[in-house]
Chain A
Amino acid sequence: AQKVTQAQTEISVVEKEDVTLDCVYETRDTTYYLFWYKQPPSGELVFLIRRNSFDEQNEISGRYSWNFQKSTSSFNFTITASQVVDSAVYFCALSDVSGGSYIPTFGRGTSLIVHP
Chain B
Amino acid sequence: EAQVTQNPRYLITVTGKKLTVTCSQNMNHEYMSWYRQDPGLGLRQIYYSMNVEVTDKGDVPEGYKVSRKEKRNFPLILESPSPNQTSLYFCASSLERGHNEQFFGPGTRLTVL
* Residues in A lying within 8 Å of B, measured CB to CB: 6, 9, 33, 35, 37, 43-47, 50, 91, 93, 95, 101-109
User: 8 Å CB contacts to A: which residues of B58-99?
Assistant: 58-59, 88, 90, 92, 97-99
Closest to A39 in B: B37
CA distance A108 to B104 in the complex (A): 17
CA distance A32 to B26 in the complex (A): 27
1/0 contact string of B40-65 vs chain A (CB within 8 Å): 11111100101000001011000000
User: How many chain-B residues does the 8 Å CB contact rule pick out?
Assistant: 27
A102 in contact with B104 (CB, 8 Å) = no
Question: Cβ of B48: which chain A residues have Cβ within 8 Å of it?
Answer: 102-103
A43 in contact with B107 (CB, 8 Å) = yes
Question: Cβ of B50: which chain A residues have Cβ within 8 Å of it?
Answer: 102
Closest to B9 in A: A43
Closest to B38 in A: A108
A47 in contact with B106 (CB, 8 Å) = no
CA distance A9 to B48 in the complex (A): 27
Question: Cβ of A37: which chain B residues have Cβ within 8 Å of it?
Answer: 102, 104
Which 8 A-B residue pairs are closest in the complex by CB-CB distance? Answer: A102-B98, A45-B104, A108-B42, A106-B43, A47-B101, A95-B98, A106-B42, A102-B97
Question: Cβ of A33: which chain B residues have Cβ within 8 Å of it?
Answer: 99
A103 in contact with B58 (CB, 8 Å) = yes
